[in-house]
Amino acid sequence: MERFSFQEAAFSECRNHEFSVAVDLKSGARNYRLNPAMLLADPIEQRSLAERLKPRIAVEQFFAQTGRKFRKKNFVLRHERTVVRPYLKFGLQIAGLYRRGIKNALAPLIRHLRLEFPDLPAAFHGFQILHISDFHIDGCPGLLEALAPMLSELEPDVCVLTGDYRFEDEGPCEAVYPLMRSILSNISTKQGIFGILGNHDASEIAFSLEEMGVRMLVNEAAEIRKNHASVWFIGVDDPFDYQCADLDSALAPVGTDDFKILLAHTPELYDDASQRGIHLYLCGHTHAGQIRFPVIGSLRHNADCPKNYSYGHWVHKGMHGYTSAGVGCSSLPIRYNCPPEITLIELRSQIE
Ligand SMILES: [Fe+2]
């Protein structure tokens, strides 16, 4: 009886969505409940967040019950928290590099990118997208204070968040919420904020972000209209650990000739996306390696894709992609030779 206790904040926020979560306070395991009425909902109700998250929640339950994940982890990843992390920190401290790594990680920059598209509706020429990825906000003390003044200076048309709000990939989420709320209060846009989930996120984070005003795209699309023209933002669930990305469902309402911007946590859907006519693919997850060496770059890029798709701008069969280096850190709050970034992307229609 005492093993599971309801998290009051999450429970009350999720009540509107006919959804609740109970958490094992010792292991962090979650037990999700959907209102059975949701299963019989009409087509509009079926697009509720709880309904769209059902595949993800099923996978979370499978992980919690079995202790397994779909992706096999190598020795380094299996022992990342208990062995690699403390020894890496100790080694960097001995070498006198640890403080510099923290300082680097708290110095985000704004990258500017202009991309031309022959198919972009003329009404969207000059449209600005602020892309932020991989906050891991509860594990990076000081990042909020560094980010807030930068964000408050900008006013893009749209802001997109490509996942990984939490530092660890399991355990409680409560520390994430007040920090994300502060960050979001510093973002002002003309047409809203879209978000997707990453592999470090629990599905309950999606409910909280929606309550904060983020339109969470879980295998669905949203249309932005301007002067009788439109572009579509298509968001998929995590293709990495949870493997719940469903491009077919997400693209269902989108026409073949529509201009399409895909939000996915990792770059791994690059080939599927280009075959489905995506014009711009925005993602993160890799942190650009987080520790990069001169000349050789990162030792691993942590995604099943060509290495040059794991950082920065890339093109695949005519589709533009951008893989953000991310604004936060995982494992340790340090970075070397790959500064944290937010990215301001301007779309251009080649009308000049
Ligand atoms: Fe990730």
Distance 241 CA to ligand 1 centre (A): 9
pLDDT score recorded for residue 76: 72
Q: Are strands 215-216 and 341-348 parallel, antiparallel or unpaired?
A: unpaired
Give the separation between CA 135 and CA 279, rounded to whole angstroms: 25
End-to-end C-alpha distance for the chain, whole angstroms: 68
264-284 per-position pLDDT tens digit: 999 999 999 999 999 999 999
pLDDT score recorded for residue 352: 57
Question: What percent of the chain is predicted at pLDDT more than 70?
Answer: 86
Q: Are strands 158-161 and 193-195 parallel, antiparallel or unpaired?
A: parallel
Distance 346 CA to ligand 1 centre (A): 25
124-168 per-position pLDDT tens digit: 999 999 999 999 999 999 999 999 999 999 999 999 999 999 999
List phi, psi (to 5°) of 58.
-60, -40
Distance 128 CA to ligand 1 centre (A): 24
Mean pLDDT of the region 288-301: 90
pLDDT score recorded for residue 19: 42
Distance 161 CA to ligand 1 centre (A): 12
Per-residue confidence band for 261, with pLDDT thresholds at 50, 70 and 90: very high
Give the separation between CA 166 and CA 343, rounded to whole angstroms: 20
Mean pLDDT of the region 165-179: 96
Strand stretches in the chain, DSSP E:
4-6, 19-24, 30-34, 109-116, 128-132, 158-161, 193-195, 215-216, 220-226, 229-235, 259-263, 280-283, 292-293, 297-298, 312-316, 319-323, 341-348
Distance 99 CA to ligand 1 centre (A): 24
Distance 317 CA to ligand 1 centre (A): 25
Residue with tokens 């401290």: 93
* DSSP SS3 for 4: strand
Beta bridge partners of 221: 234
Tokens coding 316:
């695949």
Beta bridge partners of 281: 262, 321
Distance 126 CA to ligand 1 centre (A): 30
Q: Is the pLDDT of residue 199 over 90?
A: yes
Q: Is the pLDDT of residue 4 over 90?
A: no
**Domain 109-348 is of which CATH architecture?**
4-Layer Sandwich (3.60)
53-94 per-position pLDDT tens digit: 999 999 999 999 988 888 877 777 778 888 889 999 999 999
Q: Is the pLDDT of residue 31 over 80?
A: no
Distance 97 CA to ligand 1 centre (A): 25
Residue with tokens 């629990």: 202
Distance 84 CA to ligand 1 centre (A): 18
Distance 324 CA to ligand 1 centre (A): 11
Distance 164 CA to ligand 1 centre (A): 5
Distance 172 CA to ligand 1 centre (A): 17
Lowest mean pLDDT among 16-30, 173-187, 257-271, 303-317: 16-30
pLDDT score recorded for residue 73: 74
Residues 6+ apart with CB under 8 A from 202: 30, 60, 166, 170, 173
List phi, psi (to 5°) of 38.
-60, -30
